[in-house]
Chain A
Amino acid sequence: MHGRKKSDLPQTKEEKDAVRAKISNYKKVVGAIRHKRATGQMDAEYKQLLGKLLRLHPDYYSMWNFRKEAVLAELSRIEDAHSRQGGSDDGDKAAEEISSGTLLSPSVQEQQKKKIYEEELALSVDCIKRNPKSYPAWHHHKWALERGLDLLGGRSALAGDLALCATFLELDGRNFHCWAHRMWVAERMGLSAREEFDFTTDKIKQNFSNYSAFHFRSKVLPRMVEEAGHDRWQLLSDELDLTHDAMFTEPADQSVWWYHHFLLTWADDGTDSCSDSERYENILRAEAATLGELIEVEVRCKWAEVALLLVSQRLANALEPRPQPPRAQDDETNNGGGGVTAAGNGSTEAGEVRESCRGMAARLSELDPMHGRFYEFVEKGGTVMGGQQMRGSAREADR
């Protein structure tokens, strides 16, 4: 019971009477359904009562189960009539029974079954409209669509559902039930990576704050390389441009910042040759410069500062891979400069970048003290680089 105020409770006698009437009506419907089920009367009225109750109360999971039972019973009645016909070797007799209505012709049978599934889809859609977050309503919708898919028209039925999802996501672009269902529909349809990618582009351009769309983009991006054959580095460059648009427009909105962080992890994971490494390092330098510009115009933008810190850490790691978090003896070596010069110019830059990270972490702790412990973790070498880099170093840094 979310989002309600005390003032929403019935106050006057009229309001209280209205609630009492509502409860009594609700209990009557529940009672009638249970009576019919107990006495085996799974007739048209039973289904109608279930429909009425579920439209009132879409979270009543047992009622959805009763509904499924009734649907299955109805389907098997239709199939029984059909199989009796299939088992008959007397064609004339069967034709006679069909015309007299005791047997169903294949096309009539299919039509009847299709109608049953259509009713289930319509019911679940009504209930989802009433409560877009109802788990059992979404599940019933998928159940009916999956079972009845061929009868409902196969791909065209899926396309219809995809359009339905788009409509629901217009109303609430963050409904995770709808996004998850859409993912299933798209998979069943075999939508291309490009089609999926374009859908998230639309959602993001409508609203840079749509974190759900960024999430799904993170799933489809690798497919753009693997399935659609896009050049990984070009794609990355385009994606970074998109994030720049978003972060300069809505710098305080965290959605884009998580995606930006992911992009760089994805770039890092795909870096496996010398020329890749050079590209990756150049991207990091360019990102650091862009973030620096943003920080100049958006003073005290915490997200830009965090991103700069993490980009700098990535750059230092790329220039001088550091397998272990800093320890007392390492610090001594670094102070003397011994460990740095041995690896050449790249390492000198790495040392400078690492030094600047320390200052950034300290500044962030002042700018955003609520997350001081996290910045301390990062400063001590803890990693949040995710992806393939999940190598237990996070725990290492905790010790």
Chain B
Amino acid sequence: MTDFSSKSNPPQGTEHAEPPSFFEELHRQYVIRISEQTDTFEFCMTEHLRMSGVYWGLMGMALMGRDLRKEMGAEDLASWVMRCQHEGGGFGGNEGHDPHILYTLSALQVMALLGELDRVDKDKVAGYVSGLQQSDGSFFGDEWGEVDTRFSYCALSSMAILGQLDSGKIDVKKAAEFVGRCRNFDGGFGCIPGAESHAGQIFTCVGALSIARSLHLVDEGLLGWWLCERQCDSGGLNGRPEKQADVCYSWWILSSLKILGKVDWIDGARLKGFILRCQDSEDGGIAERPGNLADIFHTFFGIAGLSLLGYFDGREGYDSFLPVDAVYALPVPLVEQLGLKSEMREPVPLPPGAT
């Protein structure tokens, strides 16, 4: 779930029209259809990250309140996940693909969503994750030595899901301090110390600090300001100053703001409109911006964004929808059931008379 490639297409100019409704049934069909369409070029080119693709699809369905065991072939999926595990405990992005922390977290999230976590040898996976931590607190992505704060998040979240965050196998305090060293002049965070702030990276850093109960390392006012200034005239959010809006930042930024108790620092109504306009009204799915081709990544982030904005709350017909947890990117009831802990700021109530 952590690939922050940026974009270059121009936006569309329909932001003031009444946004469409949420195409629930089309999206359900879309998720099922793309998981069956294995003969497309897109399927080929995403073979290496199938584990994350499956996680995005399952999350889309889970947030829409669907029964994953019935509709998504849970048995086959869980067995496939186990076939992606390597001797050393890590999971690859697909069968025959090398182990990596990115796909290890996705695999754990998939197994948790399927209710199959008991099939995972937790000590073995924890051993893989802890083996990637370096003396400065950072994490390698795999044995080849790339360092990135995305991997810090993946490691901390994985250890929490495994129930081993405080087992002493990883140094949580040092992990948080490394993330803290990636903070910049704008309050944001980059992939390594010194690197530029990026909204996707900020989610992984704020999420990691939240799991490590170290939000004191965040400059909350400054970062909140920078994040709310990601909102563009279209209502959508961009990832860095002077960049195009993209639905995926609805997740990266809203989740960060949620952790900081500042979701209302952006204009929720306009962002909802942007996300809804990115839906494909014929074939389902959500694209990164209006008029573009939908994919499973943006479909999940669009639904998760609407969830964090409270779009489904109290709206008729959405009773079965599940809210998303901003730190663990899993349904809130599942996070509660697994007993996953995090640090989160309370939102400030609106002043009297405000709407």
Contact = CB atoms under 8 A, between A and B. Distances in A.
Given A62-B48, A143-B144, A180 B192 contact: yes
A141 B191 CA distance: 17
Contacts of A371: 228-229, 231, 265
Contact of A254 (B191, B219, B229, B351): B229
B268 to A, nearest CB: 10
Contacts of A34: 96
A57 B45 contact: yes
A196 B291 CA distance: 41
Given A3-B7, A265-B185, A370-B267, 10 more contacts: A2-B288, A57-B45, A139-B146, A176-B191, A215-B186, A370-B270, A392-B216, A394-B220, A394-B221, A394-B222
Contacts of B32: none
B225 A1 contact: no
A374 B242 contact: no
B184 interface: yes
Given A5-B291, A5-B292, A211 B195 contact: no
A27 interface: yes
Interface of chain A, main secondary structure: helix
Contacts of A384: 187, 221-222, 225
A46 to B, nearest CB: 16
Contact of B265 (A22, A218, A374): A374
Interface in B101-145: 142, 144-145
Interface string A363-399: 0000001110110110000111110001010110110
Contact of A174 (B216, B226, B240, B297): B240
Contacts of A397: 221
Contacts of A62: 48, 92-93, 96-98
A135 B265 contact: no
B194 interface: yes
Contact of B293 (A1, A59, A136): A1
A133 B265 CA distance: 30
Q: Which of under 10, 10 to 19, 20 to 34, or 35 or more describes the interface residues of B? A: 35 or more
Contacts of B98: 61-62, 65
A398 B17 CA distance: 35
Contacts of A199: none
Contact of A386 (B46, B93, B194, B219): B219
Most buried by A among B219, B246, B297: B219
Contacts of A60: 47-48
Contacts of B8: 3
A23 B39 contact: yes
Interface string A206-233: 0001011001101100000000000000
The 6 closest A-B CB pairs, nearest first, are A394-B221, A218-B185, A262-B185, A133-B5, A4-B293, A62-B98
B42 interface: yes
Given A370-B266, A384-B225, A68 B39 contact: no
